C-alpha cells in the first residue's frame, strides 16, 4: 500500500503500550510472528503466545512493553507474539451481501491468529518450544481475542491453557449488526450494496479512511447496567470486531455458557482495580477527578436513574475511605471489565472442568493525571510490563507514558511474570515466596491480588458483586 497514511493518522496518538516504535505504515501485508527463545535446541519449553491489545482496530505486537526477552530468559519459556489484520481489513463482514464465498469474512483477523497458532504447532519445536504445551494470553482487545480463540473450533487443537486479562469477551457482534457496519462503509465510499465487489478495487488507504470515518470510538465510561456483557463501546453499528457467524465463531464466546470445546483447558481471568482511569485520562475527562459527593450523586442519577441511590450507598459502605472520584472509578471499572470477568469465571466454574484462577492487579502507577492531583493507580494496561517483567524497559523509556515505576514495582513484576510463566509450564499459577493461588469457586471466590506482596482475598468487594447481580443479572 502507498505510504500515505501514518499510524497516528489511523489510530490517533496512542501510548507506548499499544504501538511499536518507528513501525511501517498500516497495511494488509502485516502477518508477522516474533519469537523469543533461550535456544533453538528442541528442549520442549512451554510456549506463551500473546495477542496484543487495542480493541480490534489498534495495536501492535511490536510494543517494547510487550518484549518477551525477559520472560524467555528468566523462566526458560518460548514467547511468541503476532501481528494480524485489524479493523476493516480483519473484520468487515460481507456474508449477507456476498454469499457463501464470503461467509467467514467477518473473522479474518481471528483466522490470522489461528494460523499463527497453527504455525507454532508445526514449527516451534525447532525453536526450543513444546507444541503440546501452549498458553494463549492477551490484554484488553487481546483478552477479547483470547476469549474468541478459546471458543473457536479451528484453534482448539493448538493451545492447552489461556489467560484473559482486562478484556472478558462475553459476547461479540451479531451478523445483522456487522452487516449494517458494512453498509455504512459502502455508503461512505459511494457504493450501492449490489456493487460491494468494487471494494476489491478500492485502494487500501481509502478503505482505512472509510473505517476511521464510520468507526465508533469507545464510549466514555459511565455507570451503566449490564454493559460489560460484551466489549464496552464496541458492539454497535460502526464496530469492527469478531462476528458470531456460526462457523469460525459458532457462538458467543461465553454466552450463555463457557465454550464446551475448552472445558478441559485451565484459565486465568482478571482485571486491574482502577481500569477506567485510563479511559478518562485518554479522553481528557478530568472533571471525573474533581467530583464531590453531591456532584457524584447527580452524575449517577443521570446515568443510573432510580438505581443511583442504592449504588452510591453500597459503594460508600464497601469503600468507606474512598473519595468520590475513587468511587466513580470503581463503579465504571465494574461496568467495563470487572463484572464481565466475574461472569466469565462463574460460567467456567459451572462447567466443572479444568480450574479457573481469578486475579485483581492492584499495584499502583504513581503517574499523576495532568491537570489533577489524582494518581493513575492500577489503571487499564498498567499490568502489561509487569507480566512481561519489563519494568526496566519502562524506566529506560522514561516511563511508559502513564506507567511510572516505584519502589515495589520490580517485586510486583517478578511476582506476576513468574505466576504467568508457572501457569504456562504447569497449568497452575504460582511464584516463590507468594501465597498459594487457589482455584476460583462459587463458595470462596478466591482472588489473587497482585502486588509487591501478593495476597489471596476471599470474594473481594462482595457487596458490590451482589449489587450488580441484583441490578444486572
- Residues labelled catalytic: 140
In this structure, what C-alpha cell is assigned to residue 157?
487443537
Structure letter (DSSP) for residue 36: E
Q: Are 377 and 402 in contact (CB under 8 A)?
A: no
Cα gap 59→233, rounded to integer Å: 17
Q: Are 178 and 238 in contact (CB under 8 A)?
A: no
Using alpha carbons only, give the angle 151, 154, 156 rounded to the nearest 5 degrees. Answer: 55
**Closest CA relative to residue 388, chosen from 434, 367, 419:** 419
Which residues share a beta bridge with 389? Answer: none
Grouping H, G, I as helix, E, B as strand and the rest as coil, residue 218 is coil
Q: Are 54 and 85 in contact (CB under 8 A)?
A: no
Start-to-end CA span in the chain (Å): 47
**Closest CA relative to residue 353, chosen from 423, 262, 263, 258:** 263
Q: Are 446 and 438 in contact (CB under 8 A)?
A: yes
Structure letter (DSSP) for residue 159: -
- Cα separations in angstroms, 284 against 27, 236, 277, 278: 30, 24, 10, 10
Helix (H) / strand (E) containing 401: none
Amino acid at each position: 500500500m502507498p505510504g500515505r497514511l501514518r499510524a497516528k493518522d489511523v489510530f490517533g496518538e496512542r501510548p507506548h503500550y499499544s504501538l511499536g516504535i518507528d513501525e511501517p505504515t498500516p497495511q494488509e501485508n502485516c502477518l508477522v510472528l516474533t519469537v523469543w527463545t533461550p535456544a533453538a535446541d528442541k528442549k520442549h519449553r512451554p510456549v506463551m503466545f500473546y495477542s496484543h491489545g487495542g480493541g480490534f482496530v489498534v495495536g501492535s505486537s511490536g510494543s517494547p512493553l510487550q518484549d518477551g526477552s525477559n520472560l524467555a530468559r528468566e523462566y526458560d519459556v518460548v514467547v511468541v507474539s503476532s501481528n494480524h489484520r485489524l479493523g476493516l481489513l480483519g473484520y468487515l463482514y460481507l456474508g449477507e451481501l456476498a454469499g457463501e464465498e464470503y461467509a467467514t469474512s467477518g473473522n479474518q483477523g481471528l483466522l490470522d491468529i489461528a494460523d499463527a497458532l497453527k504455525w507454532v504447532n508445526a514449527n516451534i519445536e525447532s525453536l526450543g518450544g513444546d507444541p503440546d504445551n501452549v498458553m494463549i494470553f492477551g490484554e484488553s482487545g487481546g483478552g477479547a481475542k483470547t476469549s474468541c480463540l478459546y471458543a473457536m473450533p479451528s484453534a482448539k487443537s493448538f493451545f492447552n491453557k489461556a489467560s484473559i486479562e482486562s478484556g472478558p469477551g462475553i459476547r461479540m457482534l451479531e451478523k445483522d449488526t456487522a452487516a449494517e457496519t458494512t453498509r455504512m462503509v459502502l455508503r461512505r465510499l459511494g457504493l450501492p450494496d449490489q456493487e460491494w465487489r468494487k471494494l476489491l478495487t478500492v485502494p487500501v488507504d481509502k478503505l482505512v479512511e472509510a473505517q476511521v470515518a464510520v468507526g465508533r470510538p469507545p464510549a466514555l465510561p459511565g455507570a451503566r447496567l449490564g454493559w460489560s456483557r460484551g466489549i464496552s463501546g464496541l458492539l454497535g453499528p460502526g464496530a469492527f470486531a469478531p462476528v458470531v457467524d456460526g462457523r469460525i465463531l459458532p457462538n458467543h464466546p461465553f454466552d450463555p455458557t463457557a465454550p464446551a470445546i475448552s472445558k478441559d483447558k485451565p484459565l486465568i481471568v482478571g482485571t486491574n482495580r482502577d481500569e477506567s482511569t485510563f479511559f478518562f485520562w485518554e479522553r481528557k475527562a478530568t472533571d471525573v477527578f474533581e467530583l464531590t459527593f453531591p456532584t457524584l450523586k447527580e452524575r449517577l442519577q443521570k446515568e443510573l436513574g432510580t438505581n443511583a441511590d442504592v449504588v452510591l450507598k453500597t459503594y460508600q459502605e464497601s469503600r468507606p475511605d474512598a473519595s468520590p472520584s475513587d468511587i466513580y472509578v470503581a463503579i465504571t471499572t465494574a461496568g467495563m471489565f470487572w463484572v464481565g470477568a466475574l461472569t466469565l469465571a462463574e460460567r467456567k466454574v459451572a462447567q466443572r472442568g479444568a480450574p479457573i484462577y481469578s486475579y485483581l492487579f492492584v499495584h499502583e502507577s504513581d503517574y499523576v493525571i495532568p491537570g489533577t492531583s489524582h494518581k493513575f493507580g492500577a489503571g487499564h494496561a498498567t499490568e502489561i510490563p509487569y507480566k512481561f517483567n519489563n519494568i526496566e524497559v519502562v524506566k529506560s523509556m522514561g516511563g511508559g507514558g502513564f506507567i511510572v515505576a516505584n519502589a515495589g514495582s520490580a517485586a510486583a513484576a517478578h511476582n506476576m511474570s513468574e505466576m504467568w510463566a508457572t501457569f504456562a509450564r504447569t497449568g497452575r499459577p504460582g511464584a516463590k515466596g507468594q501465597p498459594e493461588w487457589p482455584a476460583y469457586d462459587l463458595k470462596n471466590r478466591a482472588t489473587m491480588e497482585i502486588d509487591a506482596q501478593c495476597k489471596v482475598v476471599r470474594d473481594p468487594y462482595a457487596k458490590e458483586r451482589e449489587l450488580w447481580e441484583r441490578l444486572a443479572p
